[in-house]
Structure 1
Amino acid sequence: MYQLNSDQLAIQRQYDQLSTGRRVLTISDDPAAAARAIGLQREVSRTDQMVRNADAAEAFYQSADVTLDKVDSAIIEARGAAVEAAQSVLSDDQREALAMTIRQQMESIVSAGNGMFADHQLLGGVLQTDLALEHVSGTVRFNGNQAIGLTKVGDGTQAEFTVSAATAIGVGEPFIEGESLDAALNADTRLIDMKQGEGVQAGVLTVSDGDHFVELDLRQAATIGDVADVLRTVDLDGRSLSVTLGADSITVQYADGLPGTLAIKDAAGSRLASDLLISNPDGFRAPPLVGDRLAPQVTLATSISDLNDGAGLDLTDGLVIDRGDQRYEIDFSNAETVGDVIIAINRSDAEVKAVLNETAGRIELHALRSGVDYSVGENGGSAATELGIRTADEDTLVSELARERGLNYNPEGPDLVITRPDGVELEFELEDAETVGEIIDLIRNHPDNQDTQRVLVSLNEVGNGLRLTAPPGADPIRVTQPGLSDAGTYLGWIPEDASEGVGELDGSVAVLNGSDYQPRDAGGAIDTLLRLESAIRDGDISEIGRLQARLDDDLDASTRTRGRVGVWHSSLQDSRTAVENENVLLQSQLSDAMDADLASVISELQARQVALEASMRFVGQTSGITVLNYL
């Protein structure tokens, strides 16, 4: 009966193998093969997912290519219309027709910018579900974000499968990249933020005076203050250490200020002293030991008092942001950290996105409204200047005026004439001036402008622009630009449709407040086309020429982005092929470990059936035998 039961179980198992095609049905069938198969199945699932990721990414690449082709075509068409519009012999109807062509191409780019695939924006941010670009009062507002989609393909590395609007069509680009904020060290500076973000690795130090040795375990130190505090506890034959933190340095010496051997070295596997540049393993360097270039990276948590090399910033009066004709005051009265400054700007209605570039340690402002000018100025104090984001100051290059076209000079005489209220004319030739600050110096140092009736010049205290003041006289302050010069216009003193600028009396002072001499374009293809449409209607040949060059830049940006997508697509195909080949190999190995050899199973099944039949025949023959058969 045992043999009969064994044969029946074996036959059932072989039937199961035939029906499933699997040799190992339970772990107990072959523990080693089952364990190997579990690992192989996990790898097969991983490669299957990689292939699915690649398929999804390829679909995004194809959609992005179609979208960017639409952008390229629109810019090329607009470029042709701009070339035609640069003629001075066109009628108003012809200019209107060309302006409408530009409008149509702009709408095409807006449509492309709002393109979606699989419920994700192709250009407006992968997590953006609403329209990224919206028409508002003749302008276009960017409601999206610059988030990009990432997926894992090939060897598991992350790959981008969407592009941002900033890289593709220039929307949301920074219109001002500020100056470095220069954070200083203090006791609370984290080790990981030091050396401009490269970081300092905590470790173990050995400090010695040549005869006595002290080992310091600083592996739990989180800030430079922790390191300094532990070093101050060292006692070398009755001599303690003094540790001083500078703006970007640390100084270690004996507290008594006297000379002597002071050796500091890293323990095996440690690099703290080397990172701090105070390593002196043999004591050859005489104290003090100074480690410099340790200034920390500026982060959102950096205190305002630690900026400007530790001198702090005065943000009391805040700043103003001009967007078109609208002015917005930004209040920093509650700001304690760089993050608070960023939040205050972003919560304003100026439609500006402030971002901290931690690598460069500066604030960048991104325009969210295309078709308008932006500028950042003071609000009676120096906040914009100290934050490094004032858009027009004394360092502005003359070559950047007139929207980077520079000034036109008068070849036959002075470029600028300022007439004081007392009638004295001050003539200036500006061809050698490289910055606005140098023009200011020319006015201040003019030999006919050194008496008590002199004209004073300074930057406007609110907003941007140059302010002329003088004691009152018979006439107001006047500014003219002789001949072919346009210096007065683009320095902000003469309106574009006027031949001279005329001041006014402000209390007991004659004043001429200039307008902003360096407003910033929002940037990007949509902004370019909106400005080009207006320039064509106005017949502004100079502006059309400037915008033609910008269209070339916009086309280059779009083409580069499209080329990058093409490279990604090609790389993706190679990665997918490699993953598919890996999947086939894994499937083969899994089959070897798990699949049944049908020929062997059938052969064994036949043998078991014969054995079962013999066993049943034997049982049948013996079932009728009794004890009487043996009497």
Structure 2
Amino acid sequence: MALLPVTTNRVSTPLNNQRLLYQLNNDQLAIQHQYDQLSTGRRVLRMSDDPAAASRAIGYQRGIAYSDQLVRNANATEAFYQSTDVVLDRVDNALIEARGAAVEAAQSVLSEDQREALAMTIRQNMESIVAAGNGMFNDHQLLGGVLESGAALQFENDTVRFNGTGAVGQTKVGTGNAETFTVTGATAIGIGGTFQTGNSLNAAINDDTRLVDMRQGIGVNPGIITLSDGDNHVELDLRNAATIGDVVDVLRTVELGGRSLGVSLGADSISIQYGDSLPGTLAVIDAEGSTLAKDLGISNPMGYRSPPLVGDRLSPRVTSSTKISDLGGGAGLNLANGIVIQRGSESFTIEFDDAETIGDVLIAINRSDSAVHAELDEIQGRINLSGLISGVDYSVGENGGTAATELGIRTADADTLLSDLARGRGLSLNPSGPDLVITRPDGIDLEFDLEGAETIQDVMDLVANHPDNQDTRRVRVALNSVGNGLQLTAPTGTEPIRVSQPGLSDAGVYLGWIEEGQSEATAQTNIGVSQLTGEDYSPRDAGGAIDTLLRLEKAVRDGDISEIGRLQAQLDDDLDTSSRTRGRVGVWTQSLIETRSAIEDETVLLKSQLSDELDADLATVISELGARQAALEASMRFIGQASNLTVLNYL
């Protein structure tokens, strides 16, 4: 509390008055400041009151505001979790009830009315799942994709179409990564799930391949390397290299002892040697902190490896901008004639005449009317296909070319396992005789035992290598050039080709040659050729709980006990999928509650520290206020005494 010294007689009257008034004003301001502290409870009211404390307080206030926002985010996220749990509970109950109906329908002694009643029960459960799948909270779809306000699931005749997306909402509720607050229909009920996982597109590197895309997306880090022939050293700064071509161009400029370097790129490799192809020491050393040579697989610090130095496994990841000419190990893909997508009884031809990149292929498929969604798996370098309509079969085949095979998305090819036929049930073989009989047009029976066959190619080899099928009138077997299936052809004879399945065998049916419910099939004759064109032997379910229930409803009405049994197992998988998703939501909720509690505790601590910096100690303020008032009274008394002057004071 500052006080000015008492005036003296040697001080002039104006200066004396100024000093007295300053003291009075200072006391009044101090008292007003004390009153402000009492009325607000704050010690620091402006930055100038205590700059250090005010600066710390601003940091605390910022932290409190951030924590409060995190708590609000957590509350909103918890509400989404609770709504999702309600939806998934409805799905679980519907699947459990449908599972019970399926078990009852698996009996062979039910009447038509009983089967119809069970089918209607299954239908109601399916509609309940559709309604749950269209559940919304706060104007967002819970299962159909965040930011989607329309119905995600829509009935179309006897099918259900998925119009949603796989987008999920994320928010920040802690200091770590963003938390997901919605789930997708694919993860919850399998809708819009993948029905075909493609094969690797086998991308090759070229001069334009980015370093960050190499090694399947792991990347190659630019850096500094040193090359040496034992006597001479050359340091190369490649920190600004963006593509493998940049690296190659710089390496080709190097000369060691008058010998240039020969650098070449393979489909997934780089090779370095002397340009004259003669032996010699060629050391490649990473500078400190650099991993370029190691990443490229050409590191040879001691020169022990003789040239050529070959670094492999450098294949780049496949992105939507990857050129079709760079796929297939660098040979490119032949997409002439396009592909055929079969959806139920409808067929869709998709052409890629204008496609230059893999992204163009995806766009062509996604913009078709086939209700198939194509997505690129960049990590694995392959295309995955999802069916958007439940209750129908899907297949992807050729349209007279090899596009589907080269893209790795043909659903029925020579590598298809026989155990995957009949929708995963495999073939039933004849225990007391041949499993399949093909009668040639000249009347020769070709009998086949499929016991040791594992793939479609094995069946094709059995036909081609049968000892009674080696002459010019032999039966040939090949994959259909359009769509999927197996085709048998032979020169015409007295009778057309005939295929039969003796005894308990169903091989002819599930290889696509014989209609279900029949035991044999006869070929057609066309311009001197007997030809039997088989159906697709590996149609794919769209997948998901709704697709399962639609198929189960039909199987119950038809009394198809075998199909009901298969779908029971599928229902178990669907229930497991839904339950696991619900369990994950529960785990997320528990983790969220714990995180929110920690944030609230942190907020309390921040507020305590803020109070320590800003809040006033009322006892101290009241004590100082009394002292200030006494000082003010003393100042006023002194001013009165000092101002009470007469002429006698100057005599």
Letter in 1 for 2:628: R
Aligned to 2:359: 339
1:433 equivalent in structure 2: 453
Mean Cα displacement is larger for which, 446-455 or 136-145?
446-455
Aligned residue for 1:322? 342
Per-residue deviation, 1:268 = 1.1
Return the alpha-carbon distance in structure 1 between the equivalents of residues 119 and 646 of structure 2.
116
More displaced stretch, 50-59 vs 474-483: 474-483
- 1:259 pairs with 279, 289, 292, which one? 279
Query: Aligned-pair distance for 1:372?
Result: 0.4
Measured in 2, the distance between the counterparts of 1:549 and 1:345 equals 32
Which one of 51, 54, 70 corresponds to residue 34 of structure 1? 54
Q: Identify unmatched segments of 5+ residues in structure 1.
A: none
Distance 2:484 2:508 in 1: 15
Paired residue for 1:268, among 288, 291, 303? 288
Q: Which residue of 2 aligns with 1:17?
A: 37
2:625 to 580, 596, 605: 605
Which range moved further: 43-52 or 520-529?
43-52
User: In structure 2, how many angstroms separate the alpha carbons of the residues matched to 1:274 and 1:406?
Assistant: 48
Contact 1:61 1:162 in 2 (8 A): yes
Query: Residue 65 of structure 1 contacts residue 565 of structure 1 at CA under 8 Å; is this kept in 2?
Result: yes
Q: Which residue of 2 aligns with 1:305?
A: 325
Q: Secondary structure at 1:356's aligned position in 2?
A: strand
Q: Kindly state the Cα deviation for residue 232 of structure 1 after the two structures are TM-superposed.
A: 0.7
CA contact (8 A) 1:455 1:468 kept: yes
> Where does residue 488 of structure 1 map in the other structure?
508
Structure 2: distance between partners of 1:234 and 1:454:
63
- In the TM superposition, residue 176 of structure 1 has moved relative to its aligned partner by 0.5
Using the TM superposition, give the Cα deviation of residue 474 of structure 1 relative to its aligned residue in structure 2, in angstroms. 2.8
* 8 Å CA contact retained: 2:502, 2:519: no
The alpha carbon displacement at 1:336 in A equals 1.2
Q: Which amino acid aligns with 1:318?
A: G
In 2, the alpha carbon distance for the partners of 1:280 and 1:439 equals: 50
Does the alignment pair 1:98 with 2:147?
no
How far does the alpha carbon of each residue in 1:32-85 deviate from its partner, in whole angstroms, 9 at most, with x for none?
111111111111111111111111111111111111111111100000000000
- Superposed displacement of residue 151, structure 1: 1.5
Match of 2:195 in 1: 175
The answer (yes or no) to whether the contact 1:184–1:248 under 8 Å persists in 2 is: yes
Following superposition, the deviation at residue 155 of structure 1 comes to: 2.6
1:137 to 145, 157, 161: 157
- CA contact under 8 A between 1:154 and 1:578: conserved in structure 2? no
State whether structure 2 residue 561 is matched by structure 1 residue 524: no
CA distance in 1, matches of 2:463, 2:392: 32
Return the alpha-carbon distance in structure 2 between the equivalents of residues 176 and 400 of structure 1.
Answer: 13
Cα distance between partner residues in 2 of 1:237 and 1:220 = 26
Measure the CA separation in 1 of the matches of 2:68 and 2:177.
16
CA offsets, 1:488-529, max 9 Å, x none? 111111111433212212223111111101100000000000
TM-score (structure 2 length as normaliser):
0.95
Q: What CA distance in whole angstroms lies between the structure 2 residues aligned with 1:281 and 1:539?
A: 73
Which range is displaced more, 32-41 or 467-476?
467-476
Alignment length, in residue pairs? 631
Q: Give the aligned residue type for 1:47.
A: S
**Secondary structure of the structure 1 residue equivalent to 2:626:** helix
CA distance in 1, matches of 2:116, 2:647: 122
Instruction: Give me the TM-score of the superposition, normalised by structure 1.
Output: 0.98
1:419-470: CA deviations, max 9, x gaps? 2222222222222211111111111122222222221111100000111111
Per-residue deviation at 1:615? 2.5
For 1:465, which of 471, 481, 485 is the aligned residue?
485
Match of 2:243 among 212, 218, 223: 223
Letter in 1 for 2:400: G
Matching residue of 1:614? 634
Residue 93 (structure 2) pairs with residue 73 (structure 1): yes
* Cα RMSD for the two superposed structures: 1.4
Kept in 2: contact 1:194–1:296 (CA 8 A): yes
Q: Distance in 2 between matches of 1:90 and 1:412?
A: 32
Question: Could you report, residue by residue, the CA deviation over 1:71-119 in whole angstroms, capped at 9, with x for unpaired residues?
Answer: 1111000000000000011011100100000001101111111111111
Separation (CA, whole Å) in 2 of partners of 1:173 and 1:42: 44
**8 Å CA contact retained: 2:260, 2:275:** yes
Partner AA of 2:410 in structure 1:
R
Amino acid at match of 2:208: D
Q: Are 2:583 and 1:563 equivalent residues in the alignment? A: yes
TM-superposed deviation, 1:620: 4.2
Q: Could you say which residue in structure 1 is the equivalent of 2:5?
A: none
Deviations 1:183-221 (CA, angstroms, capped at 9, x unpaired): 111111111111111111000111112222111110000
One-letter amino acid of the counterpart of residue 475, structure 2: V
- Give, in whole Å, the separation in 1 of the partners of 2:147 and 2:226: 52
Q: Equivalents in 2 of 1:417, 1:44: separation in Å?
A: 80
The SS at the match of 2:272 is: strand
Structure 2 distance, partners of 1:289, 1:626, is 111
Partner of 1:543: 563
Instruction: Tell me the CA shift for residue 626 of structure 1.
Output: 4.2
Which residue is 2:234 aligned to? 214
298-307 vs 106-115, greater mean Cα deviation: 298-307
